[in-house]
Amino acid sequence: MRPTEEKLKKLTAPRAYPGKRFHVIRGSTNTLAREIVLTFTTGEVGNFSFQLPPGTYALLVDEQIPPPDAKKYQTKFITVDEAALNQWWAKPYHLFEVKAADITELKFHFHHRSFIPYDIPCLRYVGPYPP
């Protein structure tokens, strides 16, 4: 049975993501040699703030900190596209440049897929669905 339009609207409406941890690195590519210059966690309503000197920075999600390891995420019901995982890991979640003015109104959208507890797009649930 298809959900009502009202229910679909509610399910797809943006919501805060409290407690999400991010890491900031210099440059525009994630490598094992990178230096994490700042780590922060979003607040109760998904907000955050920090200060950095001018430069080019990249934002990483927690799952991009350890080296990519498909075996870590693969389970009986979750498959991993290993090539896609390696590409996703190297490409930061968001790039930004700090200049003289404050950067405001940054909004990020995470698409949470059913039965997958990570913010990694290269994972696929292949198990049974609940009744």
Average pLDDT in the 53-71 region?
A: 94
- 24: exposed, middle or buried (Cβ count in 10 Å: 0-12, 13-18, 19+): buried
Poorest-confidence range of 31-35, 111-115, 117-121?
A: 111-115
Cα–Cα distance measured from residue 69 to residue 44, given in angstroms and rounded to the nearest whole number: 31
| pLDDT one-digit tens code per residue, 85-96 | 999 999 999 998
Q: Give the DSSP letter of residue 113.
A: P
